[in-house]
Structure 1
Amino acid sequence: MYLFAENLAVEISTYYRNLALGHGVVPKVFTLVDGEGDQYLFFIDDLPMENEEEKNQFLAYIVQEHEAVCYARGTLVIVEKNQQYIEFAVIDRDDADAIVCLAELTRDMEDKPIGLSEFDKTLVKKSTIIFGHLFEKIQLSDSKMEDFESLWLEMKSKILHRSMGL
């Protein structure tokens, strides 16, 4: 497993803890790290796309265009109103396994997050993860590539970008 993938799992755990307990929100998050250590993070629901298939194509596009070494995607999982979890997976380009992290979210009577267990970390085959295929080459039309390129250029100035360093 690439060092960035391990670090990303720790960082996303902290990020979600701060978002949930500090701000009361649990967005769908996507982040990637390229070979230079540049990290980009944004909320998936901010993508101006109607369907999941197009969102996944866009995510695959930026993973491939940035030659990512790893990426992560996370979300809130609601089993029942009183049984909620934050779950994310970190996918490494060169490893058959992925890191899946899961923590139980506790809410008060007003539905505000008040507690988050420690994230349990498990290694699973990345082929078993629904979005674990973003490193696989995709075929897009020239117009779709241009649309995705201009959207990414527009987004880059508005999203979290930092260097994890080498």
Structure 2
Amino acid sequence: MHLFSENLAVEISTYYRNLALGHGVIPKVFTLVNGEGDQYLFFIDDLPIESEEERNQFLAYIVQEHEAVCYARGTLVIVEKNQQYIEFAVIDREDADAIVCSAELTRDMDDKPIGLSEFDKTLVKKGTIIFGGLFEPIPLADSKIEDFDSLWLEMKSKILHRTMGI
């Protein structure tokens, strides 16, 4: 597993903890890191794409276009009103396993997040993760590539971009 993948799991855990407990929000997050350590992070709900299939095509396109070595996607999982988890998975290009992290979220009577357990990390086969195949080449029409390039440029102002330290 690439060092960036392990670092990403730690960073996303901290990021979600700060968002949930510090700001009371749990967005759907997507982030990728390329071989030079450039990290891009954005909220999936900020994408102006309705269909899940097209959203996944866009994510696969940017993973491939930016030559990612790893990426992560996270969300809130609601089992029941009183049983909620923040979960994310880190997918490594070169490894057959992925890191899946899960933490239980506690809310107060006003539905405000007040507690988050430690994130449990588990290794699972990346093929078992719904969005685990974004490294696989996808055939796209030239017009779709142009649309995705335009969308990426439009999204730049909403994207956190930084360089990860090794």
Pair in the same fold by TM > 0.5:
yes
1:113 aligns with 2:113: yes
Aligned pairs, number: 166
Residue 51 of structure 1 and its aligned partner are, at CA, apart by 1.0
**What is the distance in 2 between the residues matched to 1:67 and 1:97?**
19
**What is the distance in 2 between the residues matched to 1:43 and 1:82?**
25
Question: 1:56-107: CA deviations, max 9, x gaps?
Answer: 0000000000000000000000000000000000000000000000000000
**What is the distance in 1 between the residues matched to 2:72 and 2:43?**
12
| TM-score where L is the length of structure 1 | 0.99
**What is the distance in 1 between the residues matched to 2:37 and 2:121?**
23
SS in 2 for 1:157: helix
**What is the distance in 2 between the residues matched to 1:118 and 1:90?**
17
Query: For residue 19 of structure 1, what is the aligned residue in structure 2?
Result: 19
Query: For residue 69 of structure 1, what is the aligned residue in structure 2?
Result: 69
**What is the distance in 2 between the residues matched to 1:162 and 1:25?**
22
User: What letter corresponds to residue 69 of structure 1 in structure 2?
Assistant: V
1:128 aligns with 2:161: no
Residue 2 of structure 1 and its aligned partner are, at CA, apart by 0.2
Question: 1:4-29: CA deviations, max 9, x gaps?
Answer: 00000000000000000000000000
Residue 119 of structure 1 and its aligned partner are, at CA, apart by 0.0
Residue 135 of structure 1 and its aligned partner are, at CA, apart by 0.1
Query: For residue 157 of structure 2, what is the aligned residue in structure 1?
Result: 157
**What is the distance in 1 between the residues matched to 2:94 and 2:86?**
25
Query: For residue 51 of structure 2, what is the aligned residue in structure 1?
Result: 51
**What is the distance in 1 between the residues matched to 2:115 and 2:151?**
36
Q: Moved runs in structure 1, 4+ residues, more than 2 A?
A: none
**What is the distance in 2 between the residues matched to 1:91 and 1:6?**
10
SS in 1 for 2:69: strand
Residue 165 of structure 1 and its aligned partner are, at CA, apart by 3.2
Give the share of equivalent positions with the same residue, in percent.
89
For the 8 Å contact 1:38–1:165, the answer to whether it is kept is no
SS in 1 for 2:158: coil
| TM-score where L is the length of structure 2 | 0.99
SS in 2 for 1:152: helix
Question: 1:88-137: CA deviations, max 9, x gaps?
Answer: 00000000000000000000000000000000000000000000000000
Query: For residue 100 of structure 1, what is the aligned residue in structure 2?
Result: 100
Structure 2 residues without counterparts, runs of 5 or longer = none
Question: 1:28-55: CA deviations, max 9, x gaps?
Answer: 0000000110000000000001111111
Residue 158 of structure 1 and its aligned partner are, at CA, apart by 2.5
Once superposed, what is the RMSD of the aligned Cα atoms? 0.6
